[in-house]
Structure 1
Amino acid sequence: MEYNGVSAYNDEKFFKDYMSRRNRVESPNNMIEKPIMLELMSDVKGKTVLDLGCGDAQFGVELLQKGCILYDGVEGSENMVKEATKHLNEKKGNVYLSSMEAWNFPKEHYDLVVSRLALHYIADLKSIFMEIHKSLASNGKFIFSVQHPVLTSSIKSAAASATKSDWIVDDYFYSGKRVEPWIDKNVVKYHRTVEEYFQFLKLAGFKINDIREGKPKVEKFSSESEYQRRMRIPLFLIFSCDK
């Protein structure tokens, strides 16, 4: 059975296993990707924020604590929305149960649109980028991360579990659907090259300000072996764009 995008998170066992992995101390999301996202966002005080694929909205809570005046999270998984609602309780944040494709993007409404490791689940990314551009106010920013294309290119080195020590990059220029074994499920993702992400953003009208690949920082790791392993291959691709 194949799980398309967020549908995997509605499987109770997958959801429980994912949350356990995601919240571990040395999760690369926390050690590598999140600090770069926060750096690129800079000061969010007084800003309105849309978070696409917001998950459990813990990131939204952090942005509200940093002073953003409006936080809207869009999430397609019912399980994630339940968690997000708990975290945003009594805070100036909202979470909406919707896929990105079905979301009604308000025009020129947000100062900042963010998305963390969710856009590689989208088949028609070009249309989503155009909707995001329309939803941003003048001089608005779009900052997002995806799984790095060297990882999405081939599933040959993917495994349902176990710590990888070698990776295969193959079929890189064949864009499109990949079915990856992940946490004992077959999850659908969409591979795109770095160039394609760049071109889609340009077509939507964005100016690309920065691109990051998440080079690990040794001071973030308590384990030298884990640091050395993370230095071998990029896990993330992160873009910072202006309207």
Structure 2
Amino acid sequence: MGYKGSSIYDENDFFDAFLHRRNRPESPNNAMEKPAFLSMIGEVHDQRVLDLGCGDGSFGLDLCRVGCRLYEGVEGSTNMLASAQENLRTVQARLHHGMVEDFKMGRDVYDLITSRMVLHYIEELPAVFQSVYQGLKPGGRFVFSVQHPLLTSTPAPSNQRGGRSDCVVDNYFHTGERKEHWIDHEVIKYHRPVEDYVQQLLQAGFRITGMKEGCPEPDAFLEKKEYERRMRIPLFLILGGEKK
């Protein structure tokens, strides 16, 4: 039996180990996913932003520091929410405790809705995309990242000795639940091919505005060997859409 959604982050040993790994400067999220994500969202000055799965609030703090008018975050984990409240205490932010798929938003409210590395934990994604479309103002943007479908197709332990250096891709077109052994716990994710993410965005009404895979840059890594290893396997899929 694996952990679903944000529940894993309320296991204190996992939570502490995750933050230690996640906050390393050379973690893939910081070195690869974040720069690509920021380039996709572009200018946020004076915009109202909703972040689905805001984690510890560090991304929200970044957006507030560059001038977003209001930052709202949705987070299901009690541990993560407490960290977000602490990290965002000095800025204009509003936090909601609850599951992303259950969050109810009004119509035409936000200029930008983001979600970083969350949506692969959600089983029924079309309903989330439809809710996001409703919540955006006309011309509003939606940018999200997920674990790359080449990885979710056939999960392998992420804590292999020496770091993962290869990837087995199998059952790629078989969508659905996957169980991954991650930081000594079993976590449930949901696999979808790239095509499914794109088609579900289109079906919700979005115009696709961009796609990135977080291609690494040499300057982001202290060691050439680590850069070369990260060039082998795509870890992230980042997609952007605009409300018509």
User: What's the TM-score once normalised by structure 1's chain length?
Assistant: 0.98
- Look up the SS of the partner of 2:108 in the other structure: coil
Q: Are the aligned partners of 1:153 and 1:170 in contact in 2 as well (CA < 8 Å)? A: yes
What SS does the corresponding residue of 2:190 show, helix, strand or coil? strand
Instruction: Flag the 1:197–1:137 CA change in 2: closer, same or farther, 3 A.
Output: same
SS of equivalent to 1:9: helix
Partner AA of 1:10 in structure 2: D
Give the partner amino acid of 2:33.
E
> Could you say which residue in structure 2 is the equivalent of 1:33?
33
1:231 alignment partner in structure 2? 231
Whole-Å separation in 2 of the counterparts to 1:137 and 1:192: 28
- What do you get for the CA RMSD once the two structures are aligned? 0.9
- Structure 2 contact 166–233 (Cα < 8 Å) conserved: no
Partner amino acid, structure 1, of 2:53: G
User: What stretches of structure 1 of length at least 5 have no aligned partner?
Assistant: none
Per the TM alignment, residue 91 of structure 1 is displaced from its structure 2 partner at its CA by 1.1
Farther-moved stretch of structure 1 (86-95 vs 199-208): 86-95
Structure 1 residue 200 corresponds to structure 2 residue 220: no
How many residues align? The count is 242
**Identity over aligned pairs, percent:** 46
Write the deviation string for residues 106-157 of structure 1: whole angstroms up to 9, x where unpaired: 21100000000000000000100000000000100000100000000002x3
Aligned to 1:8: 8
Q: Secondary structure at the match of 1:79?
A: helix
Superposition map of 1:93-172 within 5 A: 93-155=93-155, 157-162=156-161, 163-172=163-172
The residue aligned with 1:92 is 92
Letter in 1 for 2:157: A
Cα separation, partners in 2 of 1:207 and 1:16, compared to 1, 3 Å: same
1:96, distance to aligned residue in structure 2 (A): 1.0
State the alpha-carbon separation in 2 of the partners of residues 2 and 42 from structure 1: 36
Residue equivalent to 2:177: 177
TM-score of the superposition, structure 2-length normalised?
Answer: 0.97
What's the offset of the Cα at 1:160? 4.4
Structure 1 stretches of 4+ with a deviation exceeding 6 A read none
CA distance in 2, matches of 1:39, 1:241: 14
* Structure 2 unaligned spans of 5+: none
